[in-house]
Structure 1
Amino acid sequence: MSWFSQALETVAIVWRLERHDGVALGFVGHDRDIWRQGFRYRAVPGIQPSAIMLEDGLRPDTMDMQGVIAHDAISEADLEAGRWNGARVAIGFADWADADRTPDWLVHGEIGEISRRSGAFTAEVQSGKAALEAAPCPRTSPSCRADFGGHGCGLSRQRFRIEAELLSVDADGALVFDAISEADAPHYLFGHIRWLSGNCRGSTFAIGAVQQRRLIPSDIHSCVPQPGDRAMLTMGCDKQFVTCRDRFNNSANFRGEPHLPGNDLLTRYSYG
């Protein structure tokens, strides 16, 4: 049975959001919650989508999702902490009167830019076709273009990841963990911290500097971790060929051109 084929329809718009920390939430534009296939869609009549326009071309399909930050599931603290950045999203129709009918999904994509103003938020939804805007071939660069432990790197993040407990937080935001010694700390420069418990659970901090055994986040976050919080720490890489060769013995997978002359070759002064 297709939608809008009858004079009276029991149809509602549903959203399914999956954050990178594994949290999956469902919402429905209705006055009460509905359950489909054992999954709960919370009633949020205050959230409204913009017009959904789907094209058969290669141009990315985009739309906006607007709502009031009033529901416990979407809090201002979570938005500030970046827990919703890049979350996977599916938007479609559901029959609120027929519990056996599964939702029909219209759009699949990711949450893009999120803006907040006067207690409300607007989230951009980008379809999967946005990936087609990427360059068809990589540009040359002296540094590695692969993400550490990601596609093309050839190394597994699991080998360079440990779980640790936070011992202290300095006034400048520097973090000290029980499993990180002063000798090991430099290896975590440009890595990241994913919080498993506490106020920052689900958030990820990038490590921008290291002082002795102190790990200093590169950005300011709204949540403040507390001693005793547990986190998953992943080592980093400065994407230089020497590091890839000497530290990781991974020069065969280096995704860069460290010996290729740059544009400054033409401007160098000759002493010959």
Structure 2
Amino acid sequence: MSGLTTTRARAWALTRSDGTVLGFTDHDRDLSFDGISFRAGTGMSAGAIVQGTGLSVDNTEASGALSDAALSERDILAGRYDNAALTIWEVDWQDPAWRRVLFRGSLGEITRAGGAFRAELRGLTEPLSKTGGRVFGAACPAVLGDAQCGVDLDQPVFRAEVALLAVDEGGAVLEVPPLGDFAADWFVDGNVVFLTGAAEGATVPVRREEALGDKRRLHLWQAPGFAPDVGDSVRLQAGCDKRFATCRFKFANTENFRGFPHVPDDDWLQVTPRADGDNTGGPRGR
């Protein structure tokens, strides 16, 4: 352990949601431990880590160069690094068995500029700062297709794979075949998953639909990170507006509806007694 001050380096292990593990180090040679190869020369570095006692959130940031060999802009825009798990070690590069964990957490907001990236790192206690618990309201809080919802989105009635007929606004507006088997607005609040082309892997929610004769136009909430081209394949997934009627008539899934459709709304709660006429306590008009 002698000489650690001049032989120490930092190593990062980044685990994406798809299970891919990437290792980086600020040393000038590759390091290896815990079955992970930490690559040098990636240009990645981290700022000072702010740590505190109790449940305060540890935080820092990392920055580096974007490259296909390390963190590529394409993968970042496709969301593959959203909430990726991160561990940072301080390690003796002469003997990696001597190391200590400096930080555990996840990636937060990632910004890109000039071929480089900067990422916010969030500590393990960061989720404790968020409001938890169940909200009781008329709308269903479940995510369409998750374990609470139970709808199988792989059924043909809830999805379609088509080729793009036209692309506008960088991919924020798409034109697809008429999809006569699907009712109007069937995919509103659903998703478009790009299967081929420059935007492959990206998933973008649908804001609204338009019927255009022999075509259907989809307006997305935002363009994918890379503009798709005419002819690219996409998967359209049905959407849900969280209402009881939609759950009943579109998905036949009322037994799994998680909302409370008969909860009084804000207008009902603000109703005041009538100040004129006969107020018998009975239904209005009697």
Normalised TM-score (structure 2): 0.75
- Structure 2: runs of 5+ lacking an equivalent: 275-283
For the Cα contact (< 8 Å) 2:199–2:224, is it kept in 1?
Answer: no
What's the secondary structure of 2:164's corresponding residue? strand
Q: 2:88 aligns with which of 88, 91, 94?
A: 91
Question: Paired residue for 2:226?
Answer: 223
Residues 1:211 and 2:210 aligned together: yes
Matches of 2:69 and 2:42 in 1, distance apart?
Answer: 14
Matched residues in 2 for 1:259 and 1:190: separation?
23
1:142 maps to: 138
Q: Is the 8 A contact 2:58 2:122 kept in 1?
A: yes
Q: CA RMSD in A?
A: 3.4
What amino acid sits opposite 2:266 in the alignment?
Answer: N
Asked whether the 8 Å contact 2:167–2:229 carries over to 1, the reply is no
Look up the SS of the partner of 2:127 in the other structure.
helix
Instruction: Look up the SS of the partner of 1:184 in the other structure.
Output: coil
Greater Rg over alpha carbons, structure: 2
- Whole-angstrom distance in 2 between the partners of 1:103 and 1:253: 49
The gaps in structure 1 that reach 5 residues or longer are none
**Which of 258, 261, 264 does residue 264 from structure 2 map onto?**
261
Matched, 1:127 2:126: no
Are the aligned partners of 2:191 and 2:236 in contact in 1 as well (CA < 8 Å)?
A: yes
Which stretch of the first structure deviates more once superposed, 153-162 or 231-240? 153-162
- Letter paired with 1:188: F
- Give the Å deviation of 1:67: 2.6
Distance 1:181 1:140, change over 3 A: same
1:74 partner amino acid: L
For residues 119 and 151 of structure 1, what CA distance do their matches in structure 2 show? 40
**Counterparts of 1:162 and 1:79 in 2: how far apart (Å)?**
26
Distance 1:238 1:232, change over 3 A: same
Q: Secondary structure at the match of 2:268?
A: helix
What's the offset of the Cα at 1:156? 4.1
How many residues are treated as equivalent by the alignment? 266
Paired with 2:89 and 2:235, the residues of 1 have a C-alpha distance of 35
- 2-side partners of 1:163 and 1:89: how far apart? 36
Q: What letter corresponds to residue 114 of structure 1 in structure 2? A: I
**Which residue number in structure 2 is paired with residue 201 of structure 1?**
200
Aligned to 1:152: 148
2:254 corresponds to 1:251: yes
Moved more, 41-50 or 74-83: 74-83
1:113 partnered with 2:109: yes
In 2: Cα distance, 1:196 partner to 1:104 partner: 42
Structure 1 position 20, deviation (Å): 3.7
Q: Deviations over 1:200-257 (max 9, x none)?
A: 1332212222224333321123411124544454322111111112222222322222
SS of corresponding position for 2:199: coil
SS of aligned partner of 2:120: strand
Deviation of 1:124 after TM superposition, in Å, equals 0.9
Tell me by how many angstroms 1:190 deviates.
1.4
Equivalent AA in structure 2 for residue 219 of structure 1 = Q
In 1, Cα distance between the equivalents of 2:217 and 2:182?
Answer: 11
- CA spacing shift, 1:221–1:45, aligned 2, 3 Å: closer
Q: Secondary structure at the match of 1:187?
A: coil
CA offsets 1:70-102 (integer angstroms, 9 cap, x no match): 665334454455443333323224454457x49
1:240/1:81 CA distance change after superposition, 3 Å? same
Aligned residue number for residue 182 of structure 1: 180
With over 3 angstroms needed to count, the CA separation of the structure-2 counterparts of 1:27 and 1:255, relative to structure 1, is same
